[in-house]
Amino acid sequence: MPAVIRGSSRGKSGGARGRKPAAAAYSPTKLRGAAMAGVDPRAAVWIAAGIAGAACLLAMTVGGARALEHGVGGAAGRLSAALGFRLHTLTIKGADALSTPAIAEAAALNPGDPVLGVDLDKLRERVETVGWVKSAKVQRLLPDTIVVSILPRTLLAVWQHDNAASVVDADGAVVPEAQPAVFTQLPLIVGEGANEAAAQILPLVEARPRLMSRLDAFQRVDARRWRLTLKDGGVIDLPARDEDQALLRFDQLDARLHCLDLGFERIDLRDPSATEVRMRGSAPPPQASSAGAVT
């Protein structure tokens, strides 16, 4: 469900909220609001009609359509507010409960603001500065609503680097507003460059629930390859490329030796022609061919 943030039921001019634009333009309350704004009430209807007509003429031209969509300012904006076109509802779509407050704050809109005076381009730019947001679209719904639709960032992992932890998205970008302690369900990646490389390795390991459930962290070694650290202290060294083939070799090895059940100190998959396996408490490490046969 989209988040709907509503303002007061009455605007600054005292006019009723939630009416259709035509009714708002000609109601006695709106005419009194126009008088308070320094406009002759007898002329307010004609001025309002002039604004509507000018807007329609603008909308019939290429440049005019953009001007209508992105707002009018100055006296016209103040007059439209006096006639009832004031912000009452800010609707945020695509955001969750964690990101909605930051998006609303970045929007920097207040109940009673002139709806036609809102610059939609600048509003979108402000919203897209929020770390939760990958991109945003904004829309004005007269007489009193602004809709912000966002494409949220996909949170990928908790990245530990330089004695600090942060949450990163699928592109490796840090999401400043996301607190790592809140996202304990995300995998832990460690080391320089881990944030940028994680999107390739994570799906390969996540496709192996038996292995994934035992992992403690993905460690980036020398900014070029991965070491998988298990919760029991065992490690799996992967090559710098063709990680999927190396993991297939691990699958074959585990099927034969039940390594994950018995426990191991280290499995080295860096050499595609031979796999080094060191079981816990074992003598010198045995060797396994790429087919998984232990020698």
CB atoms closer than 10 angstroms to residue 22? 11
Instruction: Report the CATH number at residue 221.
Output: 3.40.50.11690
In this predicted structure, what is the pLDDT of residue 3?
Answer: 77
Predicted confidence (pLDDT) per residue in 229-251, tens digit:
999 999 999 999 999 999 999 99
pLDDT at residue 291 tops 60: no
Same domain, 59 and 88: yes
User: CA 7 to CA 89: how far, in whole Å?
Assistant: 6
User: CA 168 to CA 159: how far, in whole Å?
Assistant: 7
CB contact set of 43 (below 8 Å; sequence gap of 6+): none
At 4, is the pLDDT very low, low, confident or very high (cuts 50, 70, 90)?
A: confident
Taking residues 133-142, what's their average pLDDT? Answer: 96
**24 located within any domain:** yes
Tell me the pLDDT of the chain averaged across its residues: 80
In this predicted structure, what is the pLDDT of residue 9?
Answer: 40
Instruction: Report the CATH number at residue 35.
Output: 3.10.20.310
Predicted confidence (pLDDT) per residue in 141-193, tens digit:
999 999 999 999 999 999 999 999 999 999 999 999 999 999 999 999 999 99
This prediction has a pTM of: 0.68
pLDDT at residue 52 tops 90: no
Domain boundary among 111, 133, 152: 152
pLDDT at residue 21 tops 50: no
pLDDT at residue 10 tops 50: no
pLDDT at residue 129 tops 70: yes
User: CA 111 to CA 2: how far, in whole Å?
Assistant: 18
Predicted confidence (pLDDT) per residue in 22-51, tens digit:
333 334 444 344 444 454 555 544 555 555
Same domain, 19 and 138: yes
Same domain, 28 and 124: yes
Same domain, 142 and 162: no
